[in-house]
Amino acid sequence: MKKESGATLSVWMNHLKLPNTQHLRENLTCDVCVVGAGIAGLTTAYLLSKEGKRVVVLDSKEIGGGETSRTTAHLSNALDDMYYRLIKLFGTNGARLACQSHAAAIDKIEQIATDENIDCDFARVDGYQFANNRSQEEELLKELEALQQIGWDDVVLRKESPLDMLSALPCLHYPNQGRMHAMKYLAGLAKAVLDNGGQIYTHSHVSDFQLGTLATAVTTEGYAVTANHLVVATNTPVNDRFAIHTKQAPYRTYAIGVQIPKDSVPDALYWDLDDPYHYVRLQKNTTAEEEFDLLIVGGEDHKTGQHGHPIECFQNLERWTRLKFPMAQGLLYNWSGQVFEPTDSLAYIGRNPGDNDNVYIATGDSGHGMTHGTIAGMLLTDLIMERPNPWAKLYDPNRVNLKSAGTYIKENLNVAAQMKDHVTPGEVEDPMQVMPGTGRIMRKGNSKVAVYCDQDGVRYQCSAVCPHMGCVVSWNSVESSWDCPCHGSRFDPFGKVITGPTKHDLGPAS
C-alpha cells in the first residue's frame, strides 16, 4: 500500500505530459491575474482568454499540483447534500439553479474537450445512489420528491441496483452524468490557455497581495503581477484571514484504485448514503491488450487534522471494496485529498467579501470540485465581462444563510475546541522519542514544537503553531505532513507550507 503524498500523482499524472511552464522572473501587467492553476483557475483563465483578455496564471506548484490532481473526477449534478436539504436552505428556485449550474458545468467540460481536442477519457455515464437499509430507502423517496419539485423529472427510482452486489434495495437512477481523467483534461486546458496568449507561471508562490484600483500579487522572490482583476482560485482563499474561513470547514477524503477484470462492472457512477459514505467509478482501460479496468473507490472523510490513525481510512475503504466487489484484485493506488465544506452546502464564487470589486474568489468545492470549478470559470468570466449570470446570487461569497446557522455554530465551536491543544502536554517529552519517518508534538516551556525525524534518524524542529490563526498542527502519517485542524493549512515535514489558507511556513521552534 502506497503511503506517500505523491501516490495520487501516480494515478493521474503517470505518463502525462504537461505544457512547459516557467517561474515568474519579471514584473508583469495584465487584464486578469489568476492565482491557482487548478480546475477553477485554468477554466477561468481559458474562458477569459477566449474573450480576448490578457491573463496571467500563478501557482506555487505545478499545473494541477494541488487538489485537482487528487480528484476522482465524478461529474455529477446529483449533489451530496441532497436536494431536499438544498430546498430548505435556498428554496425551490435556488435548488433548481444549483442543479442546472452543475449540469451546465458538465456540458461545458464536454464542449471544451471537444473544441480543444482534449483526449481526457470524457464519457457520459449514468449515476446510481443506492440505499443500504430501510431508513435510507425512505430518504431516497424524500429526495425523489425534491427532484420532482425542482423539475428534474428524468431521475427515477429503480427497484434494484444495476449491481446486486451493492444493495438489494432500491436506488435512484440519475441519467447523463459524466467522468473523465482530470489531469489529462487540465493539461489540455492549460495548453489552450497558452495557445490563446495566456501566460502560466508555476513554482511561483504568492506571499502578498496589494489591493486597490489595480490588484497586485507578489511572489516570495519579489516579482509582481499587476492586473485590473484578481482571481484567487487556490481551493481555499489565501488572500484573507477571516471572511470565508469561518464559513467552511476542511475535510480529508480518501480514495483507492483496485484492479478488476475488464467489463466486470458496468461503467457508471455509484454512491451510497452511509456515514462515512462511499462512492465508486471506473477508469476504463481502452487498450485491447489489457484485460483489466481500474475501480476507483472514495470516501471515509473526516475533519482535517482530527484523525489519529488515518491509515485506517484506507483500510476501511479496501475492506468495503472487497466486500461489495468480490472480483476486486490487486490494490494499485491510494491517495487522499482535501475538500472544503461550506456551512450551507454550496460553493462561494464571486467578489471577495470586504475587498475591492476587482477581487474574486472560488472556494467551497464540497466534494464536487470539477463541476464547482467549472461553474467558477463560467460565473467569474461573466462578472469580469460585466454580464448578468443567473447563478451569481446563489454562489455569492457575501451571502448570509440564517437557515444554516446551526452548522455554522457547530463548525466554529469545533475550531475553538482545537485551541485547548495550546495547554495540553506534548505527545513526547524528548525529541529522541520521535521514531524515523514520523512526527510528534512536544511541549517546550510555554510553546508547542513540531518534531520530525527523517529516515536517517536526523530530527528537525519548528513551531507547531499555524501562522494563519494560531492553531496547533497535528502529524498526518499518511501524507507525512503537518495539518492544521482548524482551517486546513498543511505543511511538509520541515514546516514549509503546502496548502493554504496560510501563505507562510511554520516558524522556528522557540
Give the pLDDT of residue 1. 29
Q: Which of 174, 163, 149 is nearest to 80 (CA)?
A: 174
Beta-strand relationship, 497-499 and 490-491? antiparallel
423-499 sits in which CATH class?
Answer: mainly beta
Give the pLDDT of residue 161. 85
Distance CA 281, CA 298 (A): 9
Which three three-digit cell numbers place residue 455? 529516515
Q: Is the CB of residue 499 less than 8 Å from the CB of residue 339? A: no
H or E element in which residue 135 lies = helix 134-149
Query: How would CATH label the architecture of 27-71+183-246+345-409?
Result: 3-Layer(bba) Sandwich (3.50)
Give the pLDDT of residue 290. 73
H or E element in which residue 494 lies = none
Query: Is 423-499 in the same CATH topology as 27-71+183-246+345-409?
Result: no
Distance CA 8, CA 435 (A): 26
pLDDT tens for the chain, 510 residues: list them. Answer: 233 333 444 454 555 778 888 999 999 999 999 999 999 999 999 999 999 999 999 999 999 988 998 999 999 999 989 999 999 999 999 999 999 999 999 999 999 999 999 999 999 999 999 999 999 999 999 999 999 999 999 999 999 888 888 999 999 999 999 999 999 999 999 999 999 999 999 999 999 999 999 999 999 999 999 999 999 999 998 988 777 888 899 999 999 999 999 989 999 999 999 988 899 999 887 666 678 999 999 999 999 988 889 999 999 999 999 999 999 999 999 999 999 999 898 999 999 998 889 999 999 998 899 999 999 999 999 999 999 999 999 999 999 876 666 675 666 567 666 766 676 888 889 999 999 999 999 999 889 999 999 999 999 999 999 999 889 999 999 999 999 999 889 999 999 999 989 989 999 998
Q: Is the CB of residue 501 less than 8 Å from the CB of residue 238? A: yes
Name all contacts of 404-411 with Cβ < 8 Å and 24+ positions apart: 404/89, 404/343, 404/344, 404/345, 407/343, 407/344, 408/246, 408/247, 408/343, 411/248, 411/249, 411/343
Q: Which of 331, 332, 337, 333 is nearest to 370 (CA)?
A: 337
The DSSP code for 483 is E
Distance CA 238, CA 208 (A): 9
Give the pLDDT of residue 469. 86
Helix axes 369-384, 39-50, angle to 10 degrees: 40
Give the pLDDT of residue 412. 59
- Please tell me the CATH code under which domain 122-176+249-338 is placed: 3.30.9.10
Q: Where are the alpha helices (DSSP H) in 174-310?
A: 182-195
Place of cell 491517495: 335
Give the pLDDT of residue 498. 93
Q: Where are the domains of the chain?
A: 27-71+183-246+345-409, 122-176+249-338, 423-499
CA pseudo-torsion sign 25, 31, 35, 41: negative
Beta-strand relationship, 438-444 and 447-453? antiparallel
Distance CA 141, CA 63 (A): 42
Give the pLDDT of residue 241. 74
Distance CA 131, CA 274 (A): 8
